[in-house]
């Protein structure tokens, strides 16, 4: 069964420091409009072609707008053998720091 994390726990994890890589699976325009500063963009629409760029030795935490795309991305990466944790909610409910790309 795939692991999940609440947004409060994610915020605590990011604030205390983690080796996990935070993947934002929304599209570029959504990411640019506001994302968690530590997040790396990997749109769900590109995950099948980009998964080979990920390292199976890393832990990945996945977030999206509401949770659906993160769940799908997590299931896909989990099937490939990646160590993934999916945020139970998404950026719509995130209350922490947000970086906006101009």
Residue 96 contacts residue 79 (beta carbons within 8 Å): no
Gap between the Cα atoms of 100 and 5, Å rounded: 24
Helix (H) or strand (E) holding 72: helix 68-79
Structure-token match 């995130």, residue found: 94
Instruction: Pull the structure tokens for residue 38.
Output: 């530590």
Q: Dihedral sign, CA of 6, 93, 16, 86? A: positive
Give me the catalytic one of 23, 47, 64, 87. Answer: 64
12 counts as catalytic: no
Active site (catalytic) residues: 64
């Amino acid at each position: 069964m795939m692991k999940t994390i609440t947004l409060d726990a994610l915020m605590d994890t990011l604030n205390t420091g983690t080796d996990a890589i935070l993947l934002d699976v929304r599209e570029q325009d959504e990411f640019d409009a506001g994302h968690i500063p530590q997040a790396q963009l990997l749109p769900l629409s590109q995950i099948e072609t980009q998964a080979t760029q990920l390292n199976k030795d890393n832990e990945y935490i996945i977030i999206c707008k509401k949770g659906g795309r993160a769940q799908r991305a997590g299931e896909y990466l989990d099937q490939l053998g990646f160590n993934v944790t999916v945020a139970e909610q998404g950026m719509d409910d995130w209350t922490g720091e947000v970086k906006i790309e101009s």
